[in-house]
Amino acid sequence: MNIQPLPISPQLKPYIAEAIYIKRDSDYTGNFKLVPRLYSVFFFTLDYVGTAIQNINNVEDRKVQSCNIYFGGLGYVPLDFELPPKMELILVMPKPHCTALFWKEDANYFANTMYQVSDAGKHLRILNEKVNNAYSLAEKWLHIQQYLEKQVEKCPSNLNYATKAIELMFRKSGSIGMETLANETYTCDRNLRDIFQQHIGFSPKKFASIVKFNALVHQHLTQPLAKTLTELATDFNYYDLSHLNKDFMRFTGINAESFFKQEQGINRLIMK
């Protein structure tokens, strides 16, 4: 799989965690379970792509096809993804608190879902045409950035509370009490919950549990021999391995042993 980072403009750097170009040319279909999604995602499928399939919480299969724009919100329900052998796309990951900023609508509408947005308004239709008619990757990325820059020209006044709270959660790997979080963010617990529903899509407590889970998974993937899962469970404030496996079942639909046996390329990308 060819993965190429894309340069992010200064105007977008406060709001975009990462942008990458991905091209897959394989002889086999890739099937895997995703970790909980701490980042929402725009993905622009280009000409050279087969049909990808994702299944959210064993409810329905959604097909991802070429020459379209899709948006997925942050999410914690189990998600299966099937990558086609041939795939080409641009993946843009807004920072966790930026869903509402880009859409001017509360983030809880987008949580745990994926939408095809190619025709969701005139400006997105025009953007999709520009991206798919452009000859070079640089030109495609320029059109995308110009669109996104217009979306962030006006920020809501309470966005700073969400930014601060998320920074603290990441710094503490999700192990922080909600009362402490509210105090450190200089707001009250109720206001923080409302801000998270608006900008994240679900409660700060749920988000913190995802941060903790993903931090543990990331550490085990990057240093698989450093500690056992039982030791990591203790480090990340789980009672024991059984308690950790409950989170694996809740967030991925399989136990820890089965999860770590699968191919992890995409999971490594989305845990940045």
Q: In this prediction, what percent of the chain has a pLDDT beyond 90?
A: 72
Specify whether the CB–CB gap between 200 and 106 falls below 8 A.
no
Q: Do domains 2-151 and 159-270 have the same CATH topology?
A: no
The pLDDT assigned to 272 comes to 63
Residue 7 has pLDDT above 90, yes or no: yes
Q: Across all residues in the chain, what is the average pLDDT?
A: 91
pLDDT band at residue 60 using 50, 70 and 90 as cut-offs: low
- Domain topology for 2-151: Jelly Rolls (2.60.120)
Q: pLDDT value at position 32?
A: 84
How far apart are the C-alpha atoms of 268 and 272, rounded to whole Å? 7
Mean of pLDDT values over 159-176? 93
Cα separation, 57 vs 68, in Å, equals: 23
User: What pLDDT sits at residue 140?
Assistant: 97
Domain coordinates of the chain in residue numbers?
A: 2-151, 159-270
> Lowest-pLDDT range, 123-132, 147-156, 196-205, 258-267?
258-267
What's the pLDDT tens digit per position in 209-237?
A: 999 999 999 999 999 888 899 999 999 99
Q: Model pTM?
A: 0.91
Task: With a cut of 80, say whether residue 85 has pLDDT above it.
Answer: yes
pLDDT in tens, 185-206: 999 999 999 999 999 999 999 9
Partnered with residue 87 across adjacent β-strands are 24
In this prediction, residue 250 carries a pLDDT of 94
pLDDT (0 to 100) of residue 59: 67
- What gap in Å lies between CA 255 and CA 194, rounded to an integer? 33
Is the predicted pLDDT of residue 207 greater than 90, yes or no? yes
Q: Which residues have a Cβ under 8 Å from the Cβ of 83 and sit 6 or more positions away?
A: 24, 29, 30, 31, 32, 52, 266
Q: Is the confidence at residue 172, as pLDDT, over 90?
A: yes
CA nearest to 102, candidates 39, 45, 54: 39
Lowest mean pLDDT among 11-15, 54-58, 217-221, 235-239: 54-58
Mean pLDDT for 110-133 is 94
Note the CATH number of domain 159-270.
Answer: 1.10.10.60
The mean pLDDT of 151-164, rounded to a whole number, is 89
